[in-house]
C-alpha cells in the first residue's frame, strides 16, 4: 500500500509479518518535478526488515511511483532492524546512505557476532537465563543487515534539500542512542521514526550503564514538544497532528510506569521478575506465554526504568551473582 501523505511525500506500508508492530512506513520524498519519473532523484526514509517480503513491498511501492532505485538516496532514522534491515543490500547496489553518526556505527556493529554476544550477557544480568533466551531468537538479530554499510554521518543542524523541501537533521536520542528526525521548518513537518508513536508507545530499552537513557528520551520529548510542528510522520500507525498532546501522554505514561515499577520492587527484584509483573498491552495469559522477542523488549523497558530510579536515588541496586536486583528506597 502506498499513498501521498503530503505534497511529494509518499508513505509505503511495508508489512512486518509476525511482528506486533504489524507494519513500518517507508517515506519517499520526491525531488525536482520537472524531471521525468525515471530520472527523478528521491529519498527513501527507512527500509523494513532484511527480508524478501519487505524488499518486495518497498520495490513495488517505488515501481508504483515510476521511480528507479538507482536515483535513490536512503536516510535511516535509527538502527532498529525494521528501519535499517535492507540498508546493506541497497548500499551494495549503489545507494548512498545517510544516518545518525551514533546509530550508523551501531548498525555496523550489529553485523558482528560480538554485538549479539554482549546482548546475551545482558540476558544473564536481567535474569532472563531462566527463560532460556538466546540472541538468535532476537528479531533484531534475525532481520538486521548482514554486512557493513558506508554512510554519511548525520549530525544536528545538517541540511538535506530535496525538491520543495529543506529538512534539518534533529538529534532525538532515547528510543535508540543516536535516533535522528528530519524537520521541515517552512511546512512545519517532521519525519520522526519511532520517537513519537500513536496509539502505541515507543519502546525505551537499556543501552548501557554510562547513560540514563530514559531521562535522555524524556529530554528529547521536551525538545520536540517545543518545536513548531503541524504534522508528524511516524514510522508506525497513525500520523500525528497534535504532537504536544501526544508527547504529554507519553511523558505521563513513563511517570506511571516509574510508579508501577516502584510498587513492584518493595523487596529486591530482578529485571525479569519486574517485567513479568508490569502491565503490558499484549494478549498473553502471563509471562510464560510471552513470545521470546516480547520478553526481550519487556525486560529492556523494565531495565531502563529501574536504572532511572537507581540513578535518581529512588531505588537501591545489588548484584546477586551476575543478576541485578532493585529495591525501592523508602
Ligand atoms: Zn525503533
Burial of 112 from C-beta contacts in 10 A (0-12 / 13-18 / 19+): exposed
CB 268 within 8 A of CB 326: yes
Distance in Å, CA 60 to ligand 1 centroid:
23
Q: Which residues contact 104 (CB under 8 A, 6 or more apart)?
A: 76, 79, 97, 149, 151, 153, 178
Distance in Å, CA 171 to ligand 1 centroid:
15
36, pLDDT greater than 90:
no
Q: Give per-residue pLDDT as tens, 81-122.
A: 999 999 999 999 999 999 999 999 999 999 999 999 888 899
CB 232 within 8 A of CB 11: no
Distance in Å, CA 77 to ligand 1 centroid:
9
Distance in Å, CA 178 to ligand 1 centroid:
11
Distance in Å, CA 248 to ligand 1 centroid:
20
What's the whole-model pTM score? 0.96
Q: Give per-residue pLDDT as tens, 180-239.
A: 999 999 999 999 999 999 999 999 999 999 999 999 999 999 999 999 999 999 999 999
Distance in Å, CA 260 to ligand 1 centroid:
24
Amino acid at each position: 500500500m502506498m499513498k501521498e501523505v503530503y505534497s511529494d511525500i509518499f508513505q509505503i506500508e511495508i508489512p512486518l509479518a509476525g511482528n506486533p508492530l504489524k507494519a513500518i512506513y517507508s517515506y519517499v520524498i520526491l525531488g525536482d518535478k520537472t524531471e521525468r519519473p525515471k530520472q527523478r532523484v528521491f529519498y527513501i526514509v527507512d527500509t523494513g526488515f532484511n527480508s524478501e517480503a519487505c524488499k518486495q513491498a518497498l520495490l513495488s511501492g517505488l515501481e508504483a511511483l515510476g521511480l528507479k532505485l538507482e536515483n535513490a538516496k536512503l536516510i535511516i532514522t535509527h538502527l532498529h532492524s525494521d528501519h535499517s534491515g535492507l540498508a546493506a543490500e541497497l548500499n551494495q547496489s549503489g545507494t548512498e546512505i545517510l544516518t545518525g553518526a551514533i546509530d550508523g556505527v551501531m548498525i555496523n556493529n550489529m553485523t558482528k557476532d560480538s554485538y549479539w554476544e554482549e546482548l546475551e550477557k545482558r540476558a544473564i544480568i536481567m535474569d532472563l537465563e531462566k527463560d532460556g533466551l538466546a540472541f538468535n531468537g532476537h528479531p533484531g538479530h534475525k532481520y538486521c543487515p548482514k554486512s557493513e554499510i558506508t554512510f554519511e554521518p548525520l549530525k544536528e543542524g545538517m541540511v538535506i534539500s530535496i525538491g520543495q523541501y529543506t529538512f534539518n537533521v534533529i538529534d532525538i536520542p532515547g528510543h535508540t542512542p543516536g535516533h535522528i528526525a528530519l524537520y521541515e521548518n517552512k511546512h512545519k513537518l517532521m519525519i520522526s521514526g519511532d520517537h513519537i508513536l500513536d496509539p502505541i508507545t515507543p519502546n525505551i530499552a537499556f543501552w548501557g550503564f554510562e547513560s540514563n537513557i530514559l531521562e535522555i528520551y524524556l529530554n528529547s520529548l521536551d525538545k520536540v514538544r517545543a518545536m513548531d510542528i503541524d504534522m508528524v510522520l511516524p514510522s508506525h500507525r497513525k500520523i500525528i497532528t497534535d504532537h504536544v498532546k501526544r508527547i504529554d501522554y507519553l511523558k505521563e505514561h513513563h511517570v506511571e510506569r516509574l510508579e508501577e515499577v516502584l510498587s513492584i520492587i518493595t523487596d529486591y527484584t530482578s529485571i525479569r521478575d519486574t517485567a513479568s509483573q508490569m502491565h503490558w498491552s499484549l494478549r498473553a495469559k502471563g509471562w510464560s506465554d510471552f513470545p521470546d522477542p516480547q520478553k526481550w523488549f519487556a525486560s529492556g523497558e523494565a531495565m531502563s526504568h529501574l536504572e532511572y530510579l537507581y540513578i535518581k536515588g529512588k531505588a537501591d541496586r545489588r548484584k546477586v551473582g551476575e543478576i541485578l536486583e532493585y529495591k525501592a528506597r523508602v
